[in-house]
Amino acid sequence: MPDITIKAADGGQFSAYLAAPKSGRGAGVLVIQEIFGVNAVMRAITDALAAQGYFALCPDIFWRQEPGIQLTDQTDAEWARAFELFKGFDEAKGIADLKAALAHLRGLPGCNGKAGTVGYCLGGRLVYLMACRSDADANASFYGVGIENNLAEASAIKAPTILHIAEKDSYVPAEAQAKIGSALKGHPHVTIHTYPGQEHAFARTGGKHYDKASADLANARTAALFKTHLG
């Protein structure tokens, strides 16, 4: 599948990995990367969504720092670089870029105009913010980091949104999880699924904390969300 180019709202352009369904018709899913860039793991997720019948698009959200970054989670040097990019990430501009990517996705020939979001780690946080700040039709956040800092925005969520939370997440401690659960309890559009005993990135295939049973369950719940609300 090709990398395409998307125009940013404030000028410039960035790349995104596009995977299209064989039928040439369907809804869209915006895939929001981890801190390792649009790497092999993200591309595989994007391809898998296309195989389910979606136009799947994974934009390079680190392009303002270093375009085309593709890291793995296998070396200390790559982890160090990933955290540098995470710390240097301009969240407001990142959300603007994701909105541009979402609009581009909806405008693809064959797309039915509906589009959801799915993201992991940093991407999981950005999915939550897209649920709050964009018109995405459905959202699935995997172990999003820092969501507890933006709970005041939750009233703006109008589309079905799932939060997949790892019970033993080193980056989302119990206190943060409690805040999220308390603030979002009873929210008409938000469903929280907690995965007992699981660490951060339990759904990253090949990762240190990958757990197939939990990953399969979270992926099935996400697939059901998209099937119901994206058509």
Catalytic site residues?
169, 200
What long-range pairs does 133-141 form, CB within 8 A, spacing at least 24?
133/95, 133/99, 134/95, 134/98, 134/99, 134/102, 135/159, 136/30, 136/102, 137/27, 137/229, 137/230, 138/225, 138/226, 138/228, 138/229, 138/230, 140/116, 140/164, 140/221, 140/222, 140/225, 140/226
Measured distance CA(157)–CA(130) in Å, rounded: 9
CA 89 to chain CA mean position, Å? 15
- Which one, of 122, 119, 155, 159, lies nearest residue 140 by Cα? 119
